[in-house]
Structure 1
Amino acid sequence: MSINSGLFHSLEGKNIYFKALSIEDVQEIHDYASDKDVSRFIGWNLMNTLNETRELIEIMIKRESEGTHLYASIVQKSTQTIIGTAMIFNFDHEANQAEVGYVFHKDHWGKGYGTEIVTLMSEFAFTTLNLHKLHASVVDANIGSARILEKNEYELEGRLKDHYFIEDKYYDSLLFGKITNLQSRKI
């Protein structure tokens, strides 16, 4: 499997497009990475300073250069502003699968962007990367994220009881998966 970050960064939908992460975009990324409501269920620590966000971006860029992760800034076409981050990671080359993730500014929740983002990532992963399966893990209280996956025909495959401990409370992890409809082949 060859990971082509350039193609990933050039994905485009009706309302959004992807671009490479950049340190120059630290303020726009910090705007949602520093929001407690946004960071609560995504697995990132809350970014309290611009420097913390800069360091996170540097880590993501390094991971991508090492070929272990794909990251892209999500840009809203109508405003040309960065509204989130899309990622494909946890590649399992033997099983030919990976995990998808996404996070975006809460001002853009409930507007269909998440569904569009997952559609773009799924099509890319199945047609360009020739992956057999994609999966995602969602905190059960993150109903919006679960709906995004369901709209993209990801199936609920399981539940891990009390898997996450967030703000002094346990949450279940919902495990979603999608297997390609294409003739899958292991590369």
Structure 2
Amino acid sequence: MPTPERTSVEAIVRAARDILESQGPARLTMQAVADRVGVRAPSLYKRVRNRDSLVRLVTEATLLDLEQQLRAVPAAPDPRETLCELLRAFRAFAHTRPAAYHLLFVNAPEESRPDPALFARVAAPVLQVAGELAGSADALEAARTITAWAHGFISMELAAAFNLGGDVDRAYEYGMAQLAAALARSA
């Protein structure tokens, strides 16, 4: 009789995501994941080739979660409001899983990178509203501007880099409104 399966790729990814969030990327090792799922490290390699592959799987799972959150945002009659809701969802996602969020923007080794088509799927709601606001000819540039602004703001926020006081939530709302208005005027 074959030996019963003691873990699965899903369990491995779930454990890796938990370790990443609770202990940080440096502690996300094959041994730590093996310990968490209750197998010896060599058994883990039957499912995941190496740490780079593990990071890719974690990043893919993160992207799928983000895609689900962004696609759950309903379209509003005014695309400026849709954009603001997408940006609120994006920020909420980053706060829920900050370490995994950072994986989405890391220049990782090729083996750690998800398929670019997955990034395109996740970006589709932002690209759509960017086209509605700025026009189809400028949709990609507008979507990149939106993403760069949001990621920069969120990265600073997660790093506690806003040191001049004030209300960071209010600043995010202000920035979203200004960005949406500027893109709508550019069409």
Q: Could you tell me the TM-score, scaled by structure 1's length?
A: 0.30
**Structure (1 or 2) with the greater strand fraction:** 1
**Structure (1 or 2) with the greater helix fraction:** 2
